[in-house]
Amino acid sequence: QEVDMEAQADGIRTVFNDPSNFNVKHPLFSPWTLWFDSPATKGRNMPQTPVSAFPQTPIPQTPGVQAAQGWMEDIKRVISFDSVEEFWGLYNNIIPPSQLPQKANYYLFKEGIIPAWEDEANKHGGKWSIQLPKDKNRGNVDKMWMYTMLAAIGETFDPSPTLGDGSAAASLITGVIVSTRPQFYRISIWTRLAPSGSDEDAALRERIEGVGRHFKTSVLGYPESARLAGPLATEVEFLSHKDSEKKGKAKKIIV
Protein backbone atom coordinates (compact mmCIF):
# COMPACT_ATOMS: atom_id res chain seq x y z
CA GLN A 1 0.00 0.00 0.00
CA GLU A 2 2.94 2.29 0.70
CA VAL A 3 4.10 1.81 -2.84
CA ASP A 4 0.67 2.81 -4.15
CA MET A 5 0.68 5.99 -2.13
CA GLU A 6 4.12 6.88 -3.42
CA ALA A 7 3.12 6.29 -7.00
CA GLN A 8 0.06 8.45 -6.45
CA ALA A 9 2.12 11.25 -4.91
CA ASP A 10 4.48 11.16 -7.87
CA GLY A 11 1.58 11.72 -10.27
CA ILE A 12 0.43 14.88 -8.50
CA ARG A 13 1.29 18.11 -10.30
CA THR A 14 0.24 21.34 -8.61
CA VAL A 15 0.13 24.71 -10.32
CA PHE A 16 3.56 25.32 -8.76
CA ASN A 17 5.00 22.26 -10.48
CA ASP A 18 3.51 23.11 -13.85
CA PRO A 19 1.46 26.31 -14.31
CA SER A 20 0.02 25.20 -17.64
CA ASN A 21 -0.36 21.46 -17.11
CA PHE A 22 -1.23 20.88 -13.44
CA ASN A 23 -3.58 18.03 -12.59
CA VAL A 24 -4.71 18.84 -9.04
CA LYS A 25 -6.25 21.94 -7.50
CA HIS A 26 -6.63 23.11 -3.90
CA PRO A 27 -10.25 22.82 -2.72
CA LEU A 28 -11.59 25.49 -0.38
CA PHE A 29 -13.24 24.64 2.94
CA SER A 30 -16.46 25.97 1.41
CA PRO A 31 -17.44 27.13 -2.08
CA TRP A 32 -17.91 30.91 -2.31
CA THR A 33 -19.96 33.34 -4.41
CA LEU A 34 -18.95 36.92 -5.22
CA TRP A 35 -21.77 39.48 -5.49
CA PHE A 36 -21.53 43.13 -6.48
CA ASP A 37 -23.64 46.25 -6.58
CA SER A 38 -23.14 49.91 -7.34
CA PRO A 39 -25.44 52.76 -8.37
CA ALA A 40 -24.68 51.76 -11.98
CA THR A 41 -26.13 48.25 -11.47
CA LYS A 42 -29.51 49.52 -10.34
CA GLY A 43 -32.30 48.46 -12.63
CA ARG A 44 -29.81 46.98 -15.01
CA ASN A 45 -30.61 43.52 -16.27
CA MET A 46 -27.95 40.98 -16.96
CA PRO A 47 -26.89 41.01 -20.59
CA GLN A 48 -28.44 38.59 -23.03
CA THR A 49 -25.86 35.93 -23.62
CA PRO A 50 -26.17 32.28 -24.58
CA VAL A 51 -27.05 30.24 -21.50
CA SER A 52 -24.09 27.96 -22.07
CA ALA A 53 -21.69 30.86 -21.88
CA PHE A 54 -23.24 32.38 -18.82
CA PRO A 55 -25.14 30.00 -16.59
CA GLN A 56 -26.79 31.50 -13.55
CA THR A 57 -27.02 29.49 -10.38
CA PRO A 58 -30.59 29.88 -9.24
CA ILE A 59 -30.89 31.50 -5.82
CA PRO A 60 -32.51 29.09 -3.36
CA GLN A 61 -36.07 30.23 -2.67
CA THR A 62 -36.22 29.90 1.10
CA PRO A 63 -38.64 32.17 3.04
CA GLY A 64 -35.68 34.32 4.12
CA VAL A 65 -34.60 34.86 0.57
CA GLN A 66 -38.11 35.85 -0.45
CA ALA A 67 -38.22 38.41 2.36
CA ALA A 68 -34.93 39.88 1.14
CA GLN A 69 -36.04 40.20 -2.45
CA GLY A 70 -36.24 44.01 -2.44
CA TRP A 71 -32.76 44.28 -0.94
CA MET A 72 -31.33 41.74 -3.38
CA GLU A 73 -32.89 43.26 -6.50
CA ASP A 74 -29.85 45.30 -7.50
CA ILE A 75 -27.17 42.98 -6.16
CA LYS A 76 -25.60 41.08 -9.02
CA ARG A 77 -24.15 37.63 -8.66
CA VAL A 78 -20.72 37.70 -10.30
CA ILE A 79 -19.39 34.14 -10.02
CA SER A 80 -18.90 31.13 -7.73
CA PHE A 81 -15.64 29.26 -7.15
CA ASP A 82 -14.39 26.44 -4.95
CA SER A 83 -10.62 26.30 -5.32
CA VAL A 84 -7.63 28.47 -4.46
CA GLU A 85 -6.60 28.53 -8.12
CA GLU A 86 -10.02 29.82 -9.25
CA PHE A 87 -10.07 32.48 -6.54
CA TRP A 88 -6.86 34.04 -7.86
CA GLY A 89 -8.03 33.82 -11.46
CA LEU A 90 -11.04 35.88 -10.39
CA TYR A 91 -9.03 38.25 -8.18
CA ASN A 92 -6.58 39.00 -10.98
CA ASN A 93 -9.38 39.90 -13.40
CA ILE A 94 -11.54 42.27 -11.36
CA ILE A 95 -10.79 45.68 -9.90
CA PRO A 96 -9.79 46.29 -6.26
CA PRO A 97 -11.94 48.39 -3.88
CA SER A 98 -9.84 51.56 -4.37
CA GLN A 99 -10.93 51.64 -8.02
CA LEU A 100 -14.62 50.93 -7.46
CA PRO A 101 -17.16 53.66 -8.05
CA GLN A 102 -18.67 55.35 -4.99
CA LYS A 103 -21.45 53.54 -3.12
CA ALA A 104 -20.33 50.16 -4.46
CA ASN A 105 -20.09 46.90 -2.52
CA TYR A 106 -18.37 43.56 -3.00
CA TYR A 107 -20.05 40.74 -1.09
CA LEU A 108 -18.13 37.45 -0.82
CA PHE A 109 -20.43 34.86 0.77
CA LYS A 110 -20.46 31.12 1.13
CA GLU A 111 -22.35 29.54 -1.73
CA GLY A 112 -26.04 29.22 -0.95
CA ILE A 113 -26.06 32.13 1.51
CA ILE A 114 -27.31 35.44 0.14
CA PRO A 115 -25.76 38.65 1.50
CA ALA A 116 -28.87 39.67 3.43
CA TRP A 117 -29.93 39.60 7.10
CA GLU A 118 -32.96 37.59 6.10
CA ASP A 119 -31.03 34.53 4.99
CA GLU A 120 -31.41 31.61 7.41
CA ALA A 121 -27.64 31.50 7.90
CA ASN A 122 -27.45 35.21 8.79
CA LYS A 123 -30.62 36.01 10.69
CA HIS A 124 -29.30 34.95 14.11
CA GLY A 125 -25.88 36.46 13.44
CA GLY A 126 -24.08 39.75 13.36
CA LYS A 127 -21.04 41.45 11.96
CA TRP A 128 -17.61 42.70 12.86
CA SER A 129 -16.89 45.88 10.97
CA ILE A 130 -14.48 48.76 10.70
CA GLN A 131 -14.97 52.07 8.98
CA LEU A 132 -11.87 53.74 7.54
CA PRO A 133 -11.59 57.34 6.32
CA LYS A 134 -11.05 57.27 2.57
CA ASP A 135 -8.32 59.89 2.26
CA LYS A 136 -6.00 58.14 4.74
CA ASN A 137 -6.69 54.60 3.54
CA ARG A 138 -6.77 54.70 -0.26
CA GLY A 139 -3.39 53.00 -0.21
CA ASN A 140 -4.33 50.39 2.43
CA VAL A 141 -7.83 49.29 1.56
CA ASP A 142 -6.95 46.95 -1.31
CA LYS A 143 -4.54 44.94 0.82
CA MET A 144 -6.93 44.94 3.79
CA TRP A 145 -9.73 43.61 1.59
CA MET A 146 -7.48 41.00 -0.02
CA TYR A 147 -6.33 39.80 3.41
CA THR A 148 -9.95 39.74 4.58
CA MET A 149 -10.93 37.53 1.64
CA LEU A 150 -7.93 35.26 2.19
CA ALA A 151 -8.82 34.75 5.87
CA ALA A 152 -12.40 33.98 4.79
CA ILE A 153 -11.65 31.47 2.02
CA GLY A 154 -8.71 30.01 3.97
CA GLU A 155 -11.15 29.64 6.89
CA THR A 156 -8.72 31.10 9.44
CA PHE A 157 -10.98 33.73 11.06
CA ASP A 158 -12.40 31.19 13.44
CA PRO A 159 -9.79 28.97 15.08
CA SER A 160 -12.19 26.08 15.60
CA PRO A 161 -14.49 25.88 12.57
CA THR A 162 -14.81 22.11 12.76
CA LEU A 163 -15.94 21.89 16.37
CA GLY A 164 -19.32 20.28 16.63
CA ASP A 165 -20.46 18.10 13.77
CA GLY A 166 -17.48 18.89 11.55
CA SER A 167 -19.68 20.27 8.79
CA ALA A 168 -19.18 23.62 7.09
CA ALA A 169 -22.19 24.89 9.03
CA ALA A 170 -20.08 24.75 12.18
CA SER A 171 -17.97 27.61 10.85
CA LEU A 172 -19.04 30.98 12.25
CA ILE A 173 -18.27 32.97 9.12
CA THR A 174 -20.95 33.42 6.44
CA GLY A 175 -19.40 36.20 4.35
CA VAL A 176 -17.30 39.35 4.07
CA ILE A 177 -18.17 42.74 2.56
CA VAL A 178 -16.27 45.81 1.42
CA SER A 179 -18.18 49.04 0.83
CA THR A 180 -17.03 52.27 -0.78
CA ARG A 181 -18.71 55.50 0.26
CA PRO A 182 -17.87 59.11 -0.59
CA GLN A 183 -15.93 59.65 2.67
CA PHE A 184 -14.97 56.18 3.87
CA TYR A 185 -14.49 52.48 3.27
CA ARG A 186 -16.11 49.79 5.41
CA ILE A 187 -15.02 46.16 5.71
CA SER A 188 -17.33 43.68 7.48
CA ILE A 189 -17.21 40.03 8.55
CA TRP A 190 -20.62 38.40 8.92
CA THR A 191 -21.12 35.65 11.47
CA ARG A 192 -23.73 32.92 11.72
CA LEU A 193 -24.41 33.58 15.40
CA ALA A 194 -24.27 36.52 17.80
CA PRO A 195 -23.88 36.24 21.58
CA SER A 196 -26.87 37.42 23.59
CA GLY A 197 -24.89 38.65 26.58
CA SER A 198 -26.28 35.99 28.91
CA ASP A 199 -23.95 33.65 30.80
CA GLU A 200 -24.83 30.68 28.61
CA ASP A 201 -23.38 32.57 25.67
CA ALA A 202 -19.98 33.16 27.29
CA ALA A 203 -18.26 30.53 25.11
CA LEU A 204 -19.82 31.92 21.93
CA ARG A 205 -18.88 35.44 22.94
CA GLU A 206 -15.29 34.36 23.41
CA ARG A 207 -15.27 32.70 20.00
CA ILE A 208 -16.78 35.79 18.35
CA GLU A 209 -14.22 38.03 20.07
CA GLY A 210 -11.48 35.74 18.74
CA VAL A 211 -12.72 36.43 15.21
CA GLY A 212 -12.65 40.18 15.93
CA ARG A 213 -9.14 40.09 17.34
CA HIS A 214 -7.86 38.08 14.38
CA PHE A 215 -9.51 40.60 12.05
CA LYS A 216 -7.97 43.58 13.84
CA THR A 217 -4.43 42.30 14.35
CA SER A 218 -3.62 39.69 11.70
CA VAL A 219 -5.85 40.85 8.85
CA LEU A 220 -5.92 44.63 9.26
CA GLY A 221 -2.48 44.75 10.89
CA TYR A 222 -3.28 46.94 13.93
CA PRO A 223 -1.78 46.36 17.38
CA GLU A 224 -4.38 44.81 19.67
CA SER A 225 -4.26 47.85 21.96
CA ALA A 226 -4.69 50.41 19.16
CA ARG A 227 -7.67 52.76 19.45
CA LEU A 228 -8.98 53.51 15.99
CA ALA A 229 -12.12 55.61 16.35
CA GLY A 230 -11.95 59.18 15.06
CA PRO A 231 -13.50 61.40 12.42
CA LEU A 232 -15.14 59.02 9.92
CA ALA A 233 -13.37 56.09 11.62
CA THR A 234 -14.68 53.41 13.98
CA GLU A 235 -13.15 50.81 16.22
CA VAL A 236 -13.31 47.18 15.12
CA GLU A 237 -16.80 46.57 16.50
CA PHE A 238 -19.39 43.82 16.57
CA LEU A 239 -23.13 44.33 16.35
CA SER A 240 -25.83 41.68 15.99
CA HIS A 241 -28.10 42.12 12.96
CA LYS A 242 -31.09 42.31 15.33
CA ASP A 243 -29.49 45.27 17.13
CA SER A 244 -28.56 46.89 13.80
CA GLU A 245 -32.23 46.83 12.82
CA LYS A 246 -33.30 48.59 16.00
CA LYS A 247 -31.17 51.65 15.23
CA GLY A 248 -30.33 53.88 18.14
CA LYS A 249 -28.33 52.65 21.10
CA ALA A 250 -27.18 49.05 20.93
CA LYS A 251 -24.62 46.97 22.73
CA LYS A 252 -21.47 46.76 20.68
CA ILE A 253 -18.49 44.56 21.35
CA ILE A 254 -15.17 46.29 20.69
CA VAL A 255 -11.74 44.70 20.40
Partner 1 sequence: GPLDLSGAKAPANIAAAQATALATARVIADINTVQYPEGVQSPRPELNEGAKDGKFRYDRDFLLQFMSICKEKPAMLPPLEAIGLESADQAGHHHMSRTSSGR
Fill in the per-residue mask, 139 to 178: x = in contact with partner 1 (CB under 8 A), - = not in contact. Answer: --------x--xx-xxxx----xx---x-x----------
Q: Which is nearer to partner 1, 159 or 197 (CB)?
A: 159
- CB under 8 A: which stretch of 65-73, 89-97, 182-190, 203-211 binds partner 1? 89-97
Q: Does 85 bind partner 1 (CB under 8 A)?
A: yes
Cβ pair 97, 38 in contact under 8 A: no
User: Minimum distance from CB of 150 to partner 1 (Å)?
Assistant: 5
Q: Indicate the residue type of 165.
A: D
Q: Are 185 and 129 in contact (CB under 8 A)?
A: no
Element (H, E) at 211: helix 202-214
The single residue among 32, 81, 109, 184 that binds partner 1, judged by CB under 8 A, is 81
Q: Does 19 bind partner 1 (CB under 8 A)?
A: yes
**How many residues does this entry show for the chain?**
255
Does residue 38 belong to the site contacting partner 1 (CB under 8 A)?
A: yes
Residue placing its CB nearer to partner 1 in the complex, 15 or 233: 15
Contact of 134 with 231, CB cutoff 8 Å: no
DSSP string of 160-194?
-TTSTT-SGGGSSEEEEEEEE-SSEEEEEEEES--
Burial of 103 by CB count in 10 Å (0-12 exposed, 13-18 middle, 19+ buried)?
Answer: middle
Among 65, 86, 120, 217, binds partner 1 (CB under 8 A): 86
Q: Does 101 bind partner 1 (CB under 8 A)?
A: yes
Q: How far apart are CA 252 and CA 128, in angstroms?
A: 10
User: Could you list the residues that contact partner 1 (CB under 8 A)?
Assistant: 5, 9, 12, 14-29, 36, 38-41, 44, 46-47, 49, 54-55, 76, 78-81, 83-95, 99-102, 104, 147, 150-151, 153-156, 161-162, 166, 168, 218
